[in-house]
Amino acid sequence: MTTLTSIKSTESVMQKQNWVEVAKEIGPKFAERAAQHDQEGSFVQENYDEMRQRKLFSARIPLDLGGGGGSHQEMCQAIREIAHHDGSTALSFSMHSHLLAGLVWHYDKGLTPSVEPVLRKIADEELILVSTGSRDWLDGSGAAEKVDGGYKVSGRKFFSSGSSGGDLIMTTAIYDDPKASPTVLHFATSLKGEGVTIVEDWNTMGMRGTGSNSVVLEDVFVPEASISLSRPSGKWMTLFDVISPIAWSLVMSAYLGVAEAARDIAIAQVQKKKEDHIVQEIVGEMDTELLCAQTALKGIVDLLGPDFIPSTDSSNLTYRYKTITVKSAIRSVEKAMEAVGGMSFYRQVGLERCFRDIQGARFHPFQERKQYSFSGRIALGLEPID
């Protein structure tokens, strides 16, 4: 039975918003706070509060489920826009966004009927989802013990971006099935539930405001009905062909936005020496590298058109595009600093933070060398993963 609350929630978002324009409206406030959060290594809670008020966390959910009806392409652009103002907020939001986008994809395809009430609940309560990082990518992490009605799960989840302001952690645990190979169980659990502890250990070189703390699960009960997927540990499967372009188009949008912000800072800073031929050459190199990153990211986003069919080939393209995006975005920021010169070393200019933030792009799976191996194996007719 539909409740009055859910009806009101649906009615409140029936008017489609331009989510990129929303990001542009609130971004300048994020920029004002960015240096302080970076200096303190503190979570961007005020930004999350404002995004929650503006319904950005449910923007990708279809209108008929009470969400904002934003397209995937629109959310990529919104994240990119937020990153022009604050990379940490954009990256943390991208982690929520890729989890939500995966749920929406399954709903749109009619593959998982049980996802509809989940999406309605996220829209009704503007719930924030937290991903548990690259260590859960293929192999899974944590341990699951079978008990009556479900499992008891324990483990430490690193790189849980947005955990300081999140509601649900979507994660995995490994069940050592005596009748099969180690099995990765996928599930969601409340960050405020019994046995869940957020460890404030995020003290890093860059992306310091993401709140990517460790989350410790200690004998957390996960009902059997909450297990959304079981799969063999370390094996490539269709799940990853779905997730790969969805996740990396969103996550890499945050890093591309940082690179674009660095470019804008550099152009403003070098105006007094724009007649210098060396500066002109460096700026041209910067813009060429940035174009490579922009073009490669567009390649990932374009894969997700209406005719998208998950496949190993599309994943292979995704990861090659991702490597190009990462390398070119990092080089473009380096060139921005080179063009500006010694002033880029000063924190108040803002390039130094862009340089530190962009380094995080290196560490998301597949990292460069692993991508080369993945793509090389496919080219040679081998299974994607050894």
270-277: Cβ within 8 A, 24+ apart: 270/339, 270/340
| Strand spans (E) along the chain | 129-131, 143-147, 150-160, 168-175, 183-190, 196-199, 213-223, 229-232
Q: Which domains, and CATH codes, for the chain?
A: 8-127 (1.10.540.10), 134-232 (2.40.110.10), 238-379 (1.20.140.10)
pTM above the 0.85 mark?
yes
Residue in 373, 359, 366 with CA at minimum distance from that of residue 87: 359
Residue pLDDT, tens place only, 321-362:
999 999 999 999 999 999 999 999 999 999 999 999 999 999
User: CA 67, CA 56: separation in Å to the nearest integer?
Assistant: 9
Residue pLDDT, tens place only, 24-48:
999 999 999 999 999 999 999 999 9
Neighbours of 28 (CB within 10 A): 10
Residue pLDDT, tens place only, 297-313:
999 999 999 899 999 99
Mean pLDDT of the chain: 94
> How confident is the model at residue 99, as a pLDDT?
97
Share of the chain above pLDDT 70, in %: 96
Question: In the predicted model, what is the mean pLDDT of residues 280-298?
Answer: 98
Question: In the predicted model, what is the mean pLDDT of residues 268-296?
Answer: 98
3-class secondary structure, 362: helix
Give the confidence band of 114 by pLDDT, cuts at 50, 70, 90: confident
Amino acid identity at 290: L
| Statement: residue 3 has pLDDT above 80 | no
| Statement: residue 229 has pLDDT above 80 | yes
The burial class, CB within 10 Å (0-12 / 13-18 / 19+), for 164 is buried
Contacts of 369 (CB under 8 A, 6+ apart): none
Residue pLDDT, tens place only, 351-371:
999 999 999 999 999 999 999
Cα-trace Rg, the chain = 21
Give the confidence band of 142 by pLDDT, cuts at 50, 70, 90: very high
> How confident is the model at residue 273, as a pLDDT?
97
Question: In the predicted model, what is the mean pLDDT of residues 194-221?
Answer: 97
Give the confidence band of 185 by pLDDT, cuts at 50, 70, 90: very high
> How confident is the model at residue 135, as a pLDDT?
73
Residue pLDDT, tens place only, 44-78:
999 999 999 999 999 999 999 999 999 999 999 99
> How confident is the model at residue 15, as a pLDDT?
67
